[in-house]
Structure 1
Amino acid sequence: MASIARSSLLRQVASAPKSAVATKPAFQKSIIANAARATAFHTTARRPLLPPLPQKVEGTVNDAAPVPPTDPSHGSYHWTFDRLVAASLVPITLTPFAAGSVHPVLDATLCATLLIHSHTGFQNIIVDYVPKYRVPRARKAFSWGLNAATVVVGLALYQYETNDIGLTETIKRIWKA
């Protein structure tokens, strides 16, 4: 804060006429008072937006940090499944347009694959950015919210597929519009 106040004071004193500064000490006092008031208005204390998360210390300072058991396949099944679903979206998306026919089974497969792909992607975001050990209730709320949203979107896609034109026909109509 001192460097901010100092720079504005120096600017005001430098911009003042030399004769007024040399002859009138009251003029200097008013410049300093106004500058201090202006810099105090423009600068604020740095406060965090959110309070810190709850901290919990287990053990003492001399205890070793607990190391979880390692497993080489931990996470690899999820990663492989995510990549397979993402890679399968390309042919499933292109097949109806290349073949020129819209089949309900192919359309339902596309909707299910998109739904699974979206769900696992958002689930990975929740796992990465909402740690269970720091905010367990928020993690559970986000997970339940994701599950509820997935069910709602799945029901909406089912209704759209059975009672309306379907996803592939919608894409075709938008493309030709």
Structure 2
Amino acid sequence: MASIARSSLLRQLASARPTLQTGLVANAARAAAFHTTARKNLLAPLPQTIQGTVNDAAPVPETSPSHGSYHWTFDRLVAASLIPLTVAPFAAGSLNPAMDAILCATILIHSHTGFQNIIVDYIPQKRLPGVRKLFIWGLNAATAVVGLALYEFETTDVGITETIKRVWAA
């Protein structure tokens, strides 16, 4: 019984093969007609030059403990610490200014390292060193301004957790 089903299946596939191929060509033509926009590169391609000779060793960057896995581990620890720091003031029922300050500092560090990772990933040092330095300085300035604003909000106003509590109850 299996051999009969198999042979009939093969005959069906053999007879349907030409229509299958013409169907693929028709679908490809429809897909090509759909993609009519031209590809636009945002950055010009790098110059095609070879630095050094074939016999030169590959350059090995200097190691630094503040980059790589330590940096990734620090980012994960800061992100994981935001969960209890966000929930603790509301669960405990006490609004402590020290806890509020630690929460603000952790949010600021988390935001700074996140945007720094975006800059490092998407603005290449080799191609755009000036632009990358400009973005890093802009990030540092924005972090300083937001840190000062959070400090002023914590010391002269009600604080982050009390503001969230009031907005939630409103």
* TM-score (normalised: structure 1): 0.66
Picking from 95, 99, 123, the partner of 1:106 is 99
* Cα distance in 1 between the residues matched to 2:107 and 2:115: 12
Over the aligned positions, Cα root-mean-square deviation in angstroms equals 2.4
Partner letter of residue 102 of structure 1? Answer: L
The answer as to whether partners of 1:53 and 1:134 remain within 8 angstroms in 2 is no
Corresponding position: 1:66 with 2:66: no
* Cα distance in 2 between the residues matched to 1:105 and 1:91: 14
Corresponding position: 1:171 with 2:157: no
Structure label with greater radius of gyration = 1
* Cα distance in 1 between the residues matched to 2:64 and 2:129: 26
Corresponding residue number in structure 2 for 1:79: 72
* Local SS of the residue matching 2:40: coil
The answer as to whether partners of 1:108 and 1:161 remain within 8 angstroms in 2 is yes
Q: Alpha-carbon deviation of 1:134?
A: 1.1
Corresponding residue number in structure 2 for 1:162: 155
Q: Alpha-carbon deviation of 1:48?
A: 3.3
Partner letter of residue 100 of structure 2? Answer: D
Q: Alpha-carbon deviation of 1:106?
A: 0.6
Corresponding residue number in structure 1 for 2:5: none
* Cα distance in 2 between the residues matched to 1:113 and 1:72: 24
Corresponding residue number in structure 2 for 1:30: none
Partner letter of residue 166 of structure 2? Answer: R
The Cα offsets for residues 26-57 of structure 1, whole Å up to 9 and x where unpaired, read as: xxxxxxxxxxxxxxxxx89x473645155364
In structure 2, relative to structure 1, the CA distance for the partners of 1:65 and 1:136 (3 Å cut) is farther
Query: Which stretches in structure 2 are left out of the alignment for 5+ residues?
Result: 1-35
In structure 2, relative to structure 1, the CA distance for the partners of 1:51 and 1:79 (3 Å cut) is closer
* Cα distance in 2 between the residues matched to 1:49 and 1:69: 29
* Cα distance in 2 between the residues matched to 1:71 and 1:150: 27
Q: Give aligned pairs, total.
A: 133
Matches within 5 A, 1:81-160: 81-160=74-153
Q: Alpha-carbon deviation of 1:65?
A: 7.0
Q: Alpha-carbon deviation of 1:66?
A: 2.3
Q: Alpha-carbon deviation of 1:141?
A: 0.5
In structure 2, relative to structure 1, the CA distance for the partners of 1:48 and 1:148 (3 Å cut) is same
* Local SS of the residue matching 2:100: helix
The answer as to whether partners of 1:107 and 1:168 remain within 8 angstroms in 2 is yes
* TM-score (normalised: structure 2): 0.69
Partner letter of residue 148 of structure 2? Answer: L
- Identity among equivalent pairs (%): 65
* Cα distance in 2 between the residues matched to 1:76 and 1:49: 32
